[in-house]
Amino acid sequence: MIENLHCGKDSAPVQNERQVSNAMIEVRNLTKHYGDKHAVNNISFTVEDGEILGFLGPNGAGKSTTMNMLTGYISSTSGQALINGVDILEDPIKAKSFIGYLPELPPLYLDMTVKGYLNYIYDLKKCKLPRRAHLSEVMALTKISDVATRLIKNLSKGYKQRVGVAQALIGNPPVLILDEPTVGLDPKQILEIRTLIKKLGKNHTVILSSHILSEIQAVCDRIIIINHGVIAAHDTTDNLSKNVSTDHRIIARIEGPREEIIKALRNIEGIKYCRADMEREKGVYEYELEAAPGSDIRRDLFEIVSEHKWPLLALRSAEMTLEDVFLKITMGEGIVIPNQEDVALANETKGGDD
């Protein structure tokens, strides 16, 4: 199977430090300036062999600039980006041979057939694998065999996206960098691409960028959020949800007059906001409450509903979604940027445990 073939393993041995760290991607103090603007400012991280890393950031945060530097599309102002131990600037041809890249707009030649295009990419990459068997395997894996003889311009958006993934897989590169691979797809197509990425992640190192946060949460092992050119968060989704804020958020299901309840709840000391969800049953609403850091509003809540004789039907903690985490981090609400040395130490510890 294609996911078990790593062309990088047939190459010359790489540096000893890479073999020890097992990192397929190493970013060391990477910086990119455009005049006085710091698009990317001294970021460092690693991605281990066989890991899927989610790379998130709002528009203008430096996400695309970082991915362009990793793929050698643009040069860095300072710092290093190593792919399988090879510096992308010192030996770009060798480093790029380890990378399969799908940009947000797939680099397709619309007047070519799918098969003709993939043969062209095969020659462009100077692939040494058996041509017919390799291309057949790539098309089967991405489920485009049935459109092999069709012109790319006549394909649906979903099929074009799959052809884009297929070109990234030509040559079996050990590193895949996928920028918005599911943009514009319908739910069925998104599920198919998600399944494919998870399958590839078993034996490839993958960096996945997406604005669909549920996609990142479902597929990725770790997440990096970049904001204003620096890494604002770097952890698993669960840990980000736990550590991103000390805010106390609860959901209370209360029976009674909606507007009166909202007014009373907003008067509780320490309440940052209160909003009512849709009516769950006649006269019953769910109220989402968020308290200021260090505040415990539960006792005051019980006193208010008891005083007004409003039945409190349920009370539970409100877990933060990845969307909540992303918004809080990018809006800078009480977020501490992690120390890069701590991140590196955590990665080393994780690698040692494996």
Residues of the chain with CATH 3.30.70.260: 248-319
Average pLDDT of every residue of the chain: 83
Task: State in Å, rounded, how far the first CA of the chain is from the last one.
Answer: 24
Token reading at 18: 């890479």
Res. 337 pLDDT band, cuts 50 70 90: very low
Statement: residue 112 has pLDDT above 90 = yes
Residue 81 forms beta bridges with which residues?
A: 27
The contacts of residue 35 (CB under 8 Å, 6+ apart) are none
Give the Cα separation of 274 and 331 in Å (integer).
Answer: 19
| Secondary structure class of 109 (helix, strand, coil) | coil
Tell me the per-residue pLDDT of 245-257, one tens digit each, with 9 for 90 and over. 545 678 899 999 9
Residues of the chain with CATH 3.40.50.300: 2-98+173-242+327-353
> What are the DSSP E strand ranges found in the chain?
23-34, 37-48, 52-56, 78-83, 86-87, 99-102, 175-179, 205-209, 222-227, 230-235, 248-255, 271-281, 284-291, 312-317
Q: Are 220 and 205 in contact (CB under 8 A)?
A: no
Assign domain 2-98+173-242+327-353 to its CATH architecture: 3-Layer(aba) Sandwich (3.40)
What is the dihedral sign for C-alpha 164, 189, 196, 209?
A: positive
Q: For position 237, what pLDDT does the model report?
A: 73
Tell me the per-residue pLDDT of 172-201, one tens digit each, with 9 for 90 and over. 999 999 998 887 788 888 888 888 898 888
Highest mean pLDDT among 139-148, 232-241, 329-338: 139-148
> What are the DSSP E strand ranges found in 71-180?
78-83, 86-87, 99-102, 175-179
**Angle, nearest 10°, between helix axes 157-169 and 187-200?**
10
Q: For position 140, what pLDDT does the model report?
A: 94
Token reading at 217: 């949460």
Q: Are 324 and 26 in contact (CB under 8 A)?
A: no
Pairing of strands 175-179, 23-34: unpaired
Please tell us whether the domain made up of 248-319 is placed in CATH 3.30.70.260. Answer: yes
Cβ-based neighbour number of residue 321 at 10 Å = 14
Token reading at 119: 């043969």
Mean pLDDT, residues 116-145: 95
Token reading at 33: 């300036």
Statement: residue 168 has pLDDT above 50 = yes
Q: Which amino acid is at 134?
A: H
